[in-house]
Amino acid sequence: MTLSAQQQQLVVHSSLRDLFDYYLSTLGERDNIWIDTQVRAALARQLSGQPLAQAEHIWQQYLSYREQLALLPAAAEDASTYQRLQYHFDNHIALQDQIFGHAVAAALFAFDREQDALALQQLQHKEQQSKQQSKQQSEQQDASAANGTEQTLLNASYQQSWATRQYQQENAKTQQLLAIEQNTDDPSQRFAQRAAIAGEQQAVQLAALDQQRTQWQQQLTAFQQQVRVIKQLQLSADEEQKQIDLQLQQAFSPEQHLRVKALSGLL
């Protein structure tokens, strides 16, 4: 959870949120005052001056965000899985942008937004396949096709990777950054190439996102392997679901459950 600053400005990326969540994970065992003291001390060990003040301000915003997150209304009970995830995604992004501002929120929650967009894309594809089968037996083929097209257009922005969204107004730079991501495996070389194109601050943010992607994929792959093992045990449907839910709860935070199920074909 390394923090850094450039030209007396805090470099905001997911490591800052990881630091917050590390201490917040002790909530229930430790009181709020202890957690606040520890977070501020951890920030002060790595930052000073204006960057420290900025990090402390984001910490206060993050606490407010968590409080308001719990107050968000749930999706309609009759909503489909795709609609529930989209509702979750849209409301979280709106709240994040409202509290942190677009730029800080985009950096702080980059990984979550990217993974939710991927889950949305997969669920949409699944629902479109289901709709296609239904349309073959329906008298409303044209209307269904129009609705499907409209839904696709409405959600197109959420199906892009974080890097593409971040640089969509700078096509040449975007293509260069994506090419680096796809073709350069060496971390130091990748950092140098990104810094030359987008600056050191953005290179630091993208490097943190790379690390988070790798950790997430390892965690997701391990969970999916456990699910396959459970399914081979020939348990009753209820017991199988209970075992899968147990693995899910042990490996992921509650806000990740819907995303993990979508990416693991469990919906």
Instruction: Report the half-sphere exposure of 60 (CA within 13 A, side-chain side).
Output: 5
- Averaged pLDDT for residues 178-207: 79
Please check the confidence at residue 146 and state whether its pLDDT lies above 80. Answer: no
Please report the sign of the dihedral spanned by the C-alpha atoms of residue 168, residue 207, residue 187, residue 157. negative
Reported as a single tens digit per residue, the pLDDT across 44-93 is: 999 999 999 999 999 999 999 999 988 888 888 888 878 888 888 889 99
Q: Which two tokens stand for residue 217?
A: 């994929």
pTM of the model: 0.59
In this predicted model, what pLDDT tens digit does every residue of 227-266 receive, in sequence order?
A: 999 989 989 989 999 999 999 888 887 777 877 887 787 7
Q: First and final CA of the chain: distance in angstroms?
A: 33
Max alpha carbon distance in the chain (Å)? 67
